[in-house]
Amino acid sequence: MTSPFQPYSLAVHRNRIAAGRFQSHQKRWDLYAFAQLITFGLIALCMIGLLLTLILVPFSTKWMSSVKKNIETEARDFNRQSELLWDDLQFIQKQLRTKRSNITPPRRTLRSLRINPL
């Protein structure tokens, strides 16, 4: 009667262990390759971001300066219009203090003081 622990079965067992070691070794290399892929992918994304930043910064500063000029122009127009309205209010108050019955409108009309939309 043959024993289940024969040299043949031990050799088969050794081969299976060796195959398992190879598979775990292969899994380890697959993990390293995946880590390298992620690392190089992140490095590539950072380089692309840096390149886009270097390309787009001059355009964005030019755009921002034009926006700043537009805002300054609108602010000047708004200040001018608010000063004109303040002058009109002062004129009306002055006429009310003198208690005249006929309040004449100022020379400028409110239609000429329209605030332009952006």
- CA-to-CA distance for 78 and 116, rounded, in angstroms? 9
Q: How many domains does the chain have?
A: 1
Would residue 33 count as lying in a domain? yes
Would residue 1 count as lying in a domain? no
16-57 tens-digit pLDDT = 666 666 566 666 667 888 889 999 999 999 999 999 988 888
Q: What is the pLDDT of residue 42?
A: 96
Q: What is the pLDDT of residue 38?
A: 94
Query: What is the average pLDDT value for the chain, to the nearest integer?
Result: 76
Would residue 36 count as lying in a domain? yes
Supply the pTM of this predicted model: 0.36
